[in-house]
Chains A and B, each alone.
Chain A
Amino acid sequence: MTTSNLHLYILAAPLLGAFAVNLLGRLSRRWVAPLTLGVLGYATIAALVVLARVLRDGTISYTIGNWRPPFGIELVIDPLGALMLLLISAVALTATFSSLTSIERELPGREHLFFTMYLLLIAGLTGLALTGDAFNLYVLLEITSITTYGLIAMGRGRAPLASFNYIIMGSIGACFYLLGVGYLYLLTGSLNMADIANILHGLQETAALATAFAFIMVGLWVKMAFFPLHSWLPNAYSLAPSGASVMIAPLMTKVTVFLMIRVMFSIFSPEYEFIQHAGVQSLIVWVAALAIVCASALALAQRDLKRMLTYIIVAEVGYMVGGVWLANSQGMTGAILHIVNDALMTLCLFLAAAAIAYRTGSLGFDSLQGLYRRMPITMAAFTIGAFSMIGVPPTAGFFSKWYLILGGIEANQWGYVAALLFSSLVNAVLFFRIIEIAYFRTGEVGHGHDHGHAAVRVEEAPLMMLAPLVLAALALIAVGFGSGPLVSGVIRLAVPGGF
């Protein structure tokens, strides 16, 4: 086992782990937890080493089975890809602790099946961060989607129906992407991203090229739930088992935004998108602004914590797509930093939601009453996540929003800047409403005999759910304080050339 193949093991570990969990989990459920955690722990450490190596030595290109690119499938680990690898494996590892506990209660006896799909999904996501081949990307995209459909359908009640709607929408998105790749293949005769980029460089602008670009973009937008293609997301994410949503919600949309960046800058070029089609560029920023405003407004109408969070995810997708399409380095930095921050914020909030659901059984606003007394640590972490979502310094959310706003001002996209500020305000309203319910309304009017004091027992979530939550909240503050070095050390390298 040489260390030069380390990045391949990040992909292989969850893939092989999935089979091991399935087989050994049949013999005894006790195998599931150590195997899953071990595999993901290994992947996280390996991802750290790979990130350090990429930062030191530059982009790694790796050929599988010794087939030279452009004929074989190439893995490319650039700084952005390495950052995504670390993000995926670390978030997945943190979420797993909580997931293990809640799945044990929600799907008793089926843990090994759940974690087989869970690990396959993580393998797919790491593959997406690694691959340098356009068709390979389609296959990995479908691996992640199919496992997500399965995980969501394991929820109760309406979850299978939500999953079916997601299957229809997700497959349309994947088919559009495949069609776009088909047009690119017709034009260039290649499927390797770097090779396509080289050939496209010398090609004339044609309608076929524009068609390919449009199909790929729309396909990815469906997958990332970019407003107005978001309709599948709120139901699917809020009805999924909480053990699944703590991992799917932070990672899926963010990785798809990363894929959009990959396609835009590794296959196509900034000149193609931003200079030759300046009208389209500004239109997309306007759509992003609309996405942020509408999704925030829809979030206001929700009466359930998890549903509200899903609409916030849709708004955050608008942030990132808009940031990328601002076409300047500030906006791009903001978008990439926001991928990291939003993954951590969503992780923190969904972990809190999972912990609350574990204790109260419901996430309706009424059942949140008096939670600050019953679950003080959970709610403290929730508050940090909420502050980060609103964009209060020094939490991480402030810094990426700051870059995005600077980028918007630089690009003269005032509609986008206004949408960002509006969304911050709405988030403040949303979260202070919850904090108000959970802090001030005690919800014990009926119990007259104790007169409220010392009557509330502290009923914290189990340690396995509490520890990752606190860790995620601390990570938000740490990333907030560390965003200077993070931007100058990693993200600046990841911002593609041409700006």
Chain B
Amino acid sequence: MQGIIAEIVAKYNYWIYVVLMMIGFYAMIGKRNLVKKLIGLNIFQTAIILFYVSTGVKRGGGIPIVDKHAALTHGIDPATVVNPLPHVLMLTAIVVGVSVTGVALAVLLRVYREYGTLEEDEILEKIGK
């Protein structure tokens, strides 16, 4: 038991990422309201962003902005700066996530105009008629 708790505490950010991902997954599959599904999708994407950002972080690492001359003459100790690449990748992923959300909201607007509701059950009922 002690071992498991220590494991969870040591890598808590990765555990949070898995938990967030499962919450998002549940919302996408389990919820009947289309907007809630979309929010589930956002949580799912955020979980992945947390995963990427976690991979770049180092304990005791500073921001990766270094003095050019010092870096050229002495080199950089990689342990003193965090890895910026995963963070930069996530900027792109956030942009992608925002675009998907935007398109999805626009599509939901059209769904609402068509059926007058965003509850999946009611929509399916109206289609069935």
Q: What residues on A are CB-neighbors of B44 within 8 Å?
A: 171-172, 175
A149 interface residue per 8 A CB criterion: yes
A168 touches B89 (CB 8 A): no
In angstroms, Cα B12 to Cα A257, docked, is: 37
Would you call the interface of chain A mostly helix, strand, loop, or mixed?
helix
B79 interface residue per 8 A CB criterion: no
B37 interface residue per 8 A CB criterion: yes
In angstroms, Cα B115 to Cα A419, docked, is: 41
User: Contact string, B76-102, partner A, CB cutoff 8 A, digits 1/0?
Assistant: 000000000110010011001001100
A178 interface residue per 8 A CB criterion: yes
Contact A171:B100 (CB < 8 A) given known A163-B107, A164-B111, A179-B48: yes
In angstroms, Cα B37 to Cα A186, docked, is: 30
B23 interface residue per 8 A CB criterion: no
> Among the listed A135, A139, A149, A178, which residue makes an inter-chain contact with B103, where contact means beta carbons less than 8 Å apart?
A149
In angstroms, Cα B89 to Cα A139, docked, is: 10
In angstroms, Cα B128 to Cα A404, docked, is: 41
Q: What residues on A are CB-neighbors of B106 within 8 Å?
A: 153
In angstroms, Cα B108 to Cα A164, docked, is: 7
A175 touches B107 (CB 8 A): no
In angstroms, Cα B89 to Cα A299, docked, is: 41
B110 touches A167 (CB 8 A): no
B41 touches A178 (CB 8 A): no
In angstroms, Cα B109 to Cα A163, docked, is: 12
User: Contact string, B48-92, partner A, CB cutoff 8 A, digits 1/0?
Assistant: 100110010000000000000000000000000000011001001
Shortest beta-carbon distance from A164 to chain B in Å: 5
Q: What residues on A are CB-neighbors of B100 within 8 Å?
A: 142, 146, 149, 167, 171
Shortest beta-carbon distance from B125 to chain A in Å: 13
Most buried by A among B28, B55, B104: B104
> Among the listed B25, B103, B127, which residue makes an inter-chain contact with A167, where contact means beta carbons less than 8 Å apart?
B103
Residue of A nearest to B37 (CB): A168
B55 touches A182 (CB 8 A): yes
Most buried by A among B34, B103, B123: B103
In angstroms, Cα B38 to Cα A163, docked, is: 13
Number of interface residues of A (CB under 8 A): 25
A160 interface residue per 8 A CB criterion: yes
Would you call the interface of chain B mostly helix, strand, loop, or mixed?
helix
Q: What residues on B are CB-neighbors of A498 within 8 Å?
A: none
In angstroms, Cα B96 to Cα A368, docked, is: 42
A167 touches B48 (CB 8 A): no
Contact A182:B37 (CB < 8 A) given known A146-B99, A163-B107: no
Q: What residues on B are CB-neighbors of A160 within 8 Å?
A: 107-108, 110-111, 114
Residue of B nearest to A71 (CB): B85
In angstroms, Cα B111 to Cα A146, docked, is: 17
A135 touches B110 (CB 8 A): no
Shortest beta-carbon distance from A106 to chain B in Å: 15
Contact A182:B51 (CB < 8 A) given known A146-B99, A171-B45: yes
User: Contact string, A139-163, partner B, CB cutoff 8 A, digits 1/0?
Assistant: 1001000100110010001101101
Q: What residues on B are CB-neighbors of A138 within 8 Å?
A: 93, 96
A185 touches B104 (CB 8 A): no
Contact A168:B51 (CB < 8 A) given known A139-B92, A160-B114: no
> Among the listed A139, A153, A168, A182, which residue makes an inter-chain contact with B48, where contact means beta carbons less than 8 Å apart?
A182
Residue of A nearest to B111 (CB): A160
In angstroms, Cα B104 to Cα A174, docked, is: 15
Shortest beta-carbon distance from A166 to chain B in Å: 9
A135 touches B89 (CB 8 A): yes
In angstroms, Cα B111 to Cα A150, docked, is: 13
A168 touches B28 (CB 8 A): yes
A-B contacts besides A142-B96, A153-B103, A158-B127, 14 pairs, CB < 8 Å: A135-B89, A135-B92, A138-B93, A146-B99, A146-B100, A158-B114, A164-B104, A167-B107, A168-B41, A171-B44, A171-B45, A182-B48, A182-B55, A185-B55
The 9 closest A-B pairs by CB, nearest first: A160-B110, A153-B107, A142-B96, A160-B111, A167-B104, A160-B107, A164-B107, A163-B107, A149-B103
23 contacts between A and B (CB under 8 A): A138-B93, A142-B99, A142-B100, A149-B104, A150-B103, A153-B107, A158-B114, A160-B110, A160-B111, A160-B114, A167-B100, A167-B103, A167-B104, A168-B28, A168-B38, A168-B41, A171-B100, A172-B25, A174-B96, A175-B44, A175-B48, A182-B48, A185-B86
